[in-house]
Amino acid sequence: MSSAPAATTLDPPRAAPTRYVDDRAWFDRSAIELAPDLLGMLLVHETRVGRIIGRIVEVEAYLGPEDLAAHSSRGRTPRNAVMFGPPGHAYVYLVYGLHHCLNIVAGPGGKPEAILLRAAEVTEGLEIAQQLRPGVAPLRLAAGPGNLAAAFGVDRTMNGVDLLAGPLRLAFGEPAVELARTSRIGVDYAGSWADAPLRFMIPDDPHRSRR
């Protein structure tokens, strides 16, 4: 596992996003290339009660059928079918019957790769996120993949949502100046892939998952 470089303090954007990702080609590349570019991007959910925006600070890349930690390594199933479709869609699944996880389908082309969103800083709609996760400190609202999905009001009904159309969107934010890479969390079953440095994060950001 690699050690994180020294952190750089970034001033995250506080204004509403002015430019959404509106070209599917932006997503149409390998997860290992797309994942670091997601750091500093804004996740936007236009909910029925208001907009929640968060700056993405931690992700994991899953590289298709050859990656034994990727859901697509088991072949196409009803659960993971979205991974085999066009890039730029949300892939949402439930783990342990309790927690939803939000992924972004990547490419290239029809290759079933995806990026798991592991942590974000909620920058707008804090009150809504706190209602969805009552009693949780703002720093920890979206720290960890299950917590992120809960804080943004994401569940299986959003599986397959087109990120070019909404209500989930990506917008351009302040790019990460530095990033750290480590092995992914909870993939000890994946053989030689377990140690692959496919977790990307903004170093020392307090909104990251604890591990």
Structure tokens, 62: 């899953």
Element at 181 (helix H, strand E):
strand 180-182
Consecutive H or E run containing 118: strand 114-124
Query: Which pLDDT value is given to residue 11?
Result: 40
- Domain limits of the chain? 27-201
Look up the pTM and report it.
0.90
> Average pLDDT by consecutive 10-residue portion of the chain (211 residues)?
35 61 97 97 96 98 93 92 96 91 96 98 97 96 97 97 97 93 90 92 93 69
CATH class assigned to 27-201: alpha beta
Q: Which residue has the tokens 């990251």?
A: 208
Which neighbouring-strand residues pair with 90?
Answer: 104
Residue 16: the pLDDT is: 60
In this prediction, residue 198 carries a pLDDT of: 96
**The pLDDT of residue 138:** 95
**pLDDT value of residue 48:** 94
